[in-house]
Each structure stands twice: as structure tokens, then as C-alpha cells.
A and B are shown apart, each in its own frame.
Chain A
Amino acid sequence: MSALLEVENLNSYYGDSHILFDISLEVAKNQVVALLGRNGAGKSTTLKSLIGMVRPRSGQIRFDGVPVHGLKSHAIAGLGLQLVPEERRIFGSLSVEENLVLAGLTAKSRWPLDRIWEIFPRLRERRRSRGTELSGGEQQMLAIARALVRNPKIILLDEPFEGLAPIIVRDLVATCRRLAEAGQTLVIVEQNVTAAMTLADRVYIINNGHMVESMSAAAAREQPELLHRHLGV
């Protein structure tokens, strides 16, 4: 089976600062891929390059067989890739419901809001609240819901658990696991390695902009010293 997302020799820059060096990775359908690395390693830049927020200087990205490198974000999103960005970036002046309606505007097939409320009952209670009035955990739920509304083929999650209380992280991890079990393909970037490892089928490790390891999650679990070397202190 060919991969849903194939990335080959990706090179990205911020201004003239070279961030990603020949990054390659693959994501199969129904798979959960964890992209790990210390902060500053280039994980977020990888996700931003995939969705077109950062334009890669060179390399190939094929999504569902279609080359997407160099396309604008809205075109890539239209093909079924969706980013849940770092720091959530929800629209603070819009209500919860407006955030979701906005996301669904151009979606080819759209989740009904009731389905979103089933997954995140808390958001239904707060549907009329402005984004700025939400707690951190609620904002993160909204950011994930905003991606789900578009029924994407792949969701890219950038640090979804950052800055949240442990109990909320536990809930969100459970939600992500339910999504994964229902067949949602996920790419997750996390510093919280423990949380990410409970979800992942496959693990990639980035260090200083280079892809240094690629293995199944099972193999990674058997080599804690490897994770420790690349991610620990």
C-alpha cells in the first residue's frame, strides 16, 4: 500500500536560516505518527512546511498521490490536510460555534456540529463563548474540533498538550486515541514523549533539523535509552 503522505528531502528556511535538512518521512493511512525531538529541532517547521505555511525551498511532498509542495495553504487544506497549530491560534473574537462554522465553510464533506458536541461536550456548553473566554484546555479542544469539522484525511497536531494540566492532557490523549481507533490518520508533534508514545504507531526523531531515527513505536518502546539519548538531557 502506498503511503498517504510522502515527504522526500525537504529543505526549509526561516528567512535565510536553514531549519530543515533533507527531511524524509511517510505516513500511511490510519496510522498515528509521532514526530519527536527537542525544542528547536524543526518539528513545527516540518508541519508548517507540509501545510504550506512555510514554503519549502526544495524537496517533494506528495499527499494522496498529488504533489503539494509550493501550493498555498488553502489549496493543501482543500485536499484534506489539516493543521492544529502550536498555541492553538483559535479566533478569539469569534464564538466557539463561529470558529467551527468558519472552518467548515469550504470543506468538501463536513462533520455536523452534533458530532463535534458528542466528542467535546464541553464545547457545546460553551458554544456561544468567545474564543478568548475559553480556558487553555477548551481552546485546545476547539482547535482540534476545528480541524475535525473539515473531515480531513490527515490531522497534523503541533504540541497539542503543551501548557495543559495533567488531567486535561489525559482526557485529550483519550480523545485522540478514540479518533485513531476510528481510523483517523494523525501526525503528532509533542514534547510530552510519554503521551505521544501511548498514541503512536510509528516514531520519527528530528535533531537539529535532521531526521535521525525512524522506527515502529513498538521498537522505540523497547529502546528507552535511544529516546533518552535524543530527547533527554
Chain B
Amino acid sequence: MITWPNFVSQCFNGLALGALLALISSGLTIIYGTLGVLNLAHGAMFMLGGYAGYVAYEATGSFAVAVVAGSLFLAVVGVLMERVIIRYFYSRPAEDQILVTFGIGICLVELVRLVFGSLSKTVPPPSWAAGISSLGFMFYPTYRLVVVGIIAVALLALFLVLFRTRLGLIVRAGIEDSAMVDALGIDVDRVFMIVFGIGAMAAGFAGIVNAPVVSLTPDMGDAILVQTFVVVVIGGVGSFTGAILGGLISGEILSLTSMVDPSYSGVMLFAVMTLVLMLRPQGLLGTRSQT
């Protein structure tokens, strides 16, 4: 039975999920736009962020510390991954890049499984955001509202980094023509490393912020990775704004379809992706040169 509060609450769920997908997808899409590498380990990084936050939370009892430590840890993981493996794949075929990031993702998942076991772990929301809030006409879990806020702030921060800082300037130029950026005296290799770190950090941050809403399992990244792909196909690969738009659309599709029949939500998401591919194959905001 679809009631008005039910509908609004599903819209909120969709917004929360959409914001989450937008953040993860923007990490994926920035990496692809700049480096030309599709990172299949991105879902594993989302998962790893959750676990890193879990460890930090268990050690300190502070959710804020967990968020910071989890994201920083993932930035380090991203940088290491780029330096040790990915950079040797820039000149190799796209298939090889896909295979190696896929393999790295498997390794990360299995490593976590080895250390933490397959049983799920939970991170509680911070005490000030526990419980339920009244929105006047309905009640809604407080932390879910907080998630939307936190992720909006993170997306804004990412936007500011991209559009208001020197690094962002270099990244936007690098997406267009990295060889020319290099010829202007800027070490593009180092920029690639930083971009990979930022992309991994976005996934990790999403992972830890999302942790109180779900329970952590080693393979939780798989489903997210698939949804992230749909988001970037809908939004347009390499487009930051496309990732945000695609994320929000996808989140709402999943939530609103669930309201009618949860089992059709994935199918509906795919149907929309197919429709976009038919009508606008490059994605809604996809024009390779746009950030």
C-alpha cells in the first residue's frame, strides 16, 4: 500500500542512496577521465573504506576519527596501487587495465575476508545522530538524514577541489590533454598518482559514511560496483556532473521501484540504462572533454 509518508520516505531513501552512488561514481569517473583507466577495484575500495573505518572506530570509539582515518587510509591505498601497478598499465590495452584492476579488487576482498572473516561487522552511527527525527509529517532515521548532509558536503568539497584549486585546474586540463599539461612544466605522472588517491578516497569515504546504515561484509562492494557502472553509463563516463546526475537518478529509481516491488528495482535500473544507451549512447552529460 503506497501512502504519502511512505512515498516521501522512499524519496529520501533514494536521495541518500543517490548521493552515495554519486560520490562513489565521481571517484570512478575522475580516475577514468584523467588516467583513462576503468577501475574495477573501485567497489572493493568502497568496502575497504568501511572496514578501515570499523577498525578505527573499534580502536578509538569516535565516529569522526573513523571517517577521517578510513578516507585517509584509502587515499594511501589508492596512491600505492597507482605507483606499484597501475602506472605500468597506462600504455597497455584497456582489456589489460580492466583485468588487473579486477584482480586487485579480488585480492582486496579476499584479504579482508582473511583478516575479518565472512561474518558481517557493524559500526553504530555517532550518538548524536542515533534514533529517529520527526520531520513534522513523518519520522525518519536521523543518521540517514545526516548521511545526505555529509555526502552533500563531500561532493561540494570535491567540486571545490576540482573547480576552485590549482590541483583541480590541472586535473581538468589533464582530462583534456595530459601531454600538453606536461609540456607546460607540470609533472603529469604525479598528478595521476594524486588523482588515483582522490578517487580511492571518495570511494573509501562513502564506504565509512555508509557503514552505520548497512552491515559490512567483504563482498559488499560488488553490488555497488555494478550500480556505479550504471550510474556512469547513464551520466556519461568522465563527467563529474554526469556522475552526480546519474547517481541521483539511479538512487531514486532503485528506491521508488522498491516501494512498488523491491524485486524489480535492479531490473528497472537496467531498463533505464538501456533506454539511455539507445537514445544518447554517450550518456546524459557525456562529451569526453567535459569535466
Contact = CB atoms under 8 A, between A and B. Distances in A.
B91 to A, nearest CB: 13
Interface in B139-189: 166, 169-170, 172-173, 175-177, 179-189
A129 to B, nearest CB: 16
For B166, B173, B290, the residue with the greatest tally of chain A CB atoms inside 10 Å of its CB is: B173
Contact of B183 (A85, A92, A107): A85
Chain A to chain B: the 7 pairs with minimum beta-carbon distance, closest first: A77-B185, A106-B185, A73-B182, A73-B183, A91-B173, A89-B180, A103-B184
Given A92-B289, A93-B289, A102 B176 contact: no
A53 B183 contact: yes
B97 interface: no
A150 B185 contact: yes
A91 B183 contact: no
B186 A93 contact: no
Nearest to B190: A74
Nearest to B182: A73
A53 B179 contact: yes
B179 A73 contact: yes
Contact of B169 (A72, A89, A101): A101
Interface in A67-117: 72-74, 77-78, 82-83, 85, 89, 91-94, 98, 101-103, 105-107
A74 B182 CA distance: 5
10 contacts: A83-B183, A85-B180, A91-B177, A93-B176, A93-B289, A93-B291, A102-B184, A105-B166, A106-B186, A146-B184
B170 A102 contact: yes
For B170, B185, B187, the residue with the greatest tally of chain A CB atoms inside 10 Å of its CB is: B185
A51 interface: yes
A101 to B, nearest CB: 7
Given A53-B179, A73-B179, A85-B180, A93 B172 contact: yes
A16 B166 CA distance: 38
Contacts of A150: 184-185
Contacts of A146: 184
Interface of A: 51-53, 72-74, 77-78, 82-83, 85, 89, 91-94, 98, 101-103, 105-107, 146, 150
The contact size tier of chain B is 20 to 34
Contacts of A77: 182-185
Interface in B22-81: none
Contacts, number: 69
Given A92-B289, A94-B172, A105 B183 contact: no
Contacts of A85: 180, 183
B173 A74 contact: no
Nearest to A106: B185
Nearest to B177: A89
Contacts of B175: 93
Contact of B186 (A74, A89, A91): A74
Given A77-B185, A106-B184, 11 more contacts: A53-B183, A74-B182, A74-B184, A74-B186, A91-B176, A94-B173, A102-B173, A102-B184, A103-B185, A105-B169, A150-B185
Nearest to B174: A91
A74 B169 contact: no
A134 to B, nearest CB: 15
A74 B290 contact: no
Contacts of B170: 102, 105
B176 A72 contact: no
Interface string B239-278: 0000000000000000000000000000000000000000
A152 B41 CA distance: 42
Contact of A74 (B177, B183, B291): B183
A98 B176 contact: no
B176 A105 contact: no
A92 to B, nearest CB: 6
Nearest to B169: A102
Contacts of B172: 91, 93-94
A102 B171 CA distance: 10
A186 to B, nearest CB: 17
A156 to B, nearest CB: 10
Contacts of B173: 91, 94, 102
Nearest to A147: B184
